[in-house]
Amino acid sequence: MMKIFVAGHRGMVGSAIVRRLNALGQTHIITRTRQELDLLDQQAVMDFMQSEKPDQVYLAAAKVGEIHANNTYPAEFIYENLMVQNNVIHAAHQSGVQKLLFLGSSCIYPREVPQPMKEEMLLTGPLEPTNEPYAIAKIAGIKLCESYNRQYGTDFRSVMPTNLYGPGDNYHPENSHVIPALLRRFHEAVRQQAPEVVIWGSGTPMREFLHVDDMAAATVHVMNLDAATYQSHTQPMLSHINVGTGVDCTIRELAETIAKVTGFTGRLTFDTTKPDGTPRKLLDVSKLKSLGWVPSIPLEQGLSEVYRAESFKF
């Protein structure tokens, strides 16, 4: 039986990948908690890889956070992500890992870029300043995989997901992303019978959202493509693949859907004194579609399922 190491299995992304592999009948999945294996420790990672010798590695471990965290701790965001990537990818090569899949983020693309964002837009302009350290680390991860492939003939691949939501998300009142933040805010408004919910910005920016279980299915799909198929749709120095729905909605539409899901019937008020951020962020997913994968969880259905399953955390 194939041995698969999922790095970061306790996070929202890593746990979804484990669920997907289990659903496909994969029984030999190797995991380690942060206490059991510090991915910042190069020797510990090398010893683990040499001992376990996994056939495949999913690199879902990362230091992640929203705008405030990225702005407050830029050194940690670039250092820790670079170190984890370097240690895992290098040790995978040294240990003869057959396939590795590196998970990045759509923030790798320049701030001012044509929409939807094609893979070819990488490194064509300045990044969004608020998350530049994190984006630089993720770009370095892509290039690390490509460099090992070119020099050593490894089969290390990269996928770049859009904004994710789903089981295991962070619902902290101050430092969560837009979907968990709104789910919590609307839930509390219903519980307190509040007459309105105030939402930052004008409600006009457009965003793309993908259920994490769809992301996991796409990730496993890309990992399991035969090498010839993967290489025919990518280039040695442009090998990453966007993962998203290819469909976006306004923040207002998102808020209206969440109001419906949570049963909130009051007013939606948009605070236009607060920043909107980038007007639009949408991935071009035509490459992934041509490789035979499309998402299966519509946004309202996904939000309803998440709310029913996760509202106890609010």
* Residue 8 assigned as binding residue: yes
Our answer to whether residue 73 is catalytic in this structure is: no
* Residue 292 assigned as binding residue: no
Cβ-count burial of 58 within 10 angstroms (0-12 exposed, 13-18 middle, 19+ buried)? buried
* Residue 163 assigned as binding residue: yes
d(CA 280, CA 297): 22
In sequence order, the β-bridge partners of residue 283 are 117
d(CA 56, CA 156): 10
d(CA 12, CA 167): 7
* Residue 149 assigned as binding residue: no
- Cβ(130)–Cβ(67) under 8 Å? yes
- List the catalytic residue out of 134, 148, 165, 230: 134
What is the separation of C-alpha 185 from the centre of its chain, rounded to a whole number of angstroms?
23
* Residue 276 assigned as binding residue: yes
* Residue 106 assigned as binding residue: yes
Contacts of 152 (CB under 8 A, 6+ apart): 93
* Residue 10 assigned as binding residue: yes
Contacts of 274 (CB under 8 A, 6+ apart): 200, 201
* Residue 185 assigned as binding residue: yes
In sequence order, the β-bridge partners of residue 165 are 211
* Residue 302 assigned as binding residue: no
d(CA 126, CA 124): 7
Q: How many CB atoms lie within 10 A of CB 80?
A: 18
* Residue 164 assigned as binding residue: yes
* Residue 65 assigned as binding residue: no
- Cβ(137)–Cβ(260) under 8 Å? no
d(CA 194, CA 204): 24
* Residue 267 assigned as binding residue: no
* Residue 288 assigned as binding residue: no
Q: How many CB atoms lie within 10 A of CB 238?
A: 12
* Residue 172 assigned as binding residue: no
* Residue 96 assigned as binding residue: no
* Feature table: binding site: 8-14, 103-106, 138, 161-164, 177, 185, 200, 207, 276
Which residues are annotated as catalytic? Answer: 134
* Feature table: binding site for NADP(+): 8-14, 103-106, 138, 161-164, 177
* Feature table: binding site for substrate: 185, 200, 207, 276
